[in-house]
Chain A
């Protein structure tokens, strides 16, 4: 089945220790997104890639970076995690950007704990 896969599902890191979250997709979609969802909050878009074109949200902290080496994979790097970065990180994909029917497909998420 075509899907969006996130690894690991649970990640524990220490305060200030860099961490990388992984997302892969078999849908061959052009657009990949990273959302952050803190407890009882709405998912919030951090950034997205349209093919290799990186698009950062204005309020995404510099501490968050992303890489997309190919169509299938996208990584979220947190350079120096703080306690406030503990959250669920959701990866999503869509076939096109800014189309009328921009359905996004989500992975199961990675829950990040910062000690």
Chain B
């Protein structure tokens, strides 16, 4: 029973365009959401996060949007660059738990 779902295993975007990665969750107790980026042979690295009391958080080219009523969040990357090619994991925390609940990841491919 997946509590965090990333329904697109892969996404291909042209360099310079916007990349939009989507994530849905089912557990209403989640109160904090994170995006991690993973290159091959490396561990996930933290990218950006958002608390459930906000609906938007921005950091440079990266913006995360949270729609609590829809239990949906998205990561926008503008403009997309070749170095953004990686697997992106959506993760959530809450309900008193210490660990993170992850989605399966979306492989983002930036094409020149």
Bound together, the chains give a CA A50 to CA B34 distance in angstroms of 21
| In the complex, B22 has a CB within 8 A of chain A | no
Are B99 and A103 neighbours in the complex by a CB distance under 8 Å? no
Determine the chain B residues whose CB is within 8 A of the CB of A109 once the complex forms: 43
- Residues 101-115 of chain A: 1 if any B CB is under 8 Å from the residue's CB, otherwise 0? 111111111000000
Are A45 and B43 neighbours in the complex by a CB distance under 8 Å? no
Are A43 and B102 neighbours in the complex by a CB distance under 8 Å? yes
Are B41 and A108 neighbours in the complex by a CB distance under 8 Å? yes
Within the complex, what minimum Cβ distance (angstroms) separates B83 from chain A?
Answer: 18
| In the complex, B104 has a CB within 8 A of chain A | yes
Within the complex, what minimum Cβ distance (angstroms) separates A34 from chain B?
Answer: 9
A-binding segment of B12-20, B45-53, B59-67, B69-77: B45-53
Which of B42, B49, B105 is within 8 Å of A101, CB to CB?
B49
Q: Which residue of chain B has its CB nearest to the CB of A50? A: B98
Q: Which residue of chain B has its CB nearest to the CB of A102? A: B93
| In the complex, A97 has a CB within 8 A of chain B | yes
Within the complex, what minimum Cβ distance (angstroms) separates A78 from chain B?
Answer: 19
Are A42 and B89 neighbours in the complex by a CB distance under 8 Å? yes
Which of A41, A97, A103, A106 is within 8 Å of B43, CB to CB?
A106
Q: For the complex, count residues of A whose C-beta is within 8 A of B.
A: 29
Are A108 and B100 neighbours in the complex by a CB distance under 8 Å? no
* Given A103-B34, A103-B49, CB of A90 within 8 Å of CB of B44: yes
Bound together, the chains give a CA A97 to CA B103 distance in angstroms of 21
Bound together, the chains give a CA A92 to CA B98 distance in angstroms of 12
Which of B45, B99, B104 is within 8 Å of A40, CB to CB?
B104
Determine the chain B residues whose CB is within 8 A of the CB of A31 once the complex forms: 98
Bound together, the chains give a CA A55 to CA B98 distance in angstroms of 9
| In the complex, A70 has a CB within 8 A of chain B | no
Are A108 and B102 neighbours in the complex by a CB distance under 8 Å? no
Bound together, the chains give a CA A62 to CA B103 distance in angstroms of 25
Bound together, the chains give a CA A101 to CA B44 distance in angstroms of 17
- Give residues of chain A (70-94) contacting chain B, Cβ–Cβ below 8 Å: 90, 92
Determine the chain B residues whose CB is within 8 A of the CB of A90 once the complex forms: 43-44
Determine the chain A residues whose CB is within 8 A of the CB of B98 once the complex forms: 31, 33, 48, 50, 55, 97-98, 102
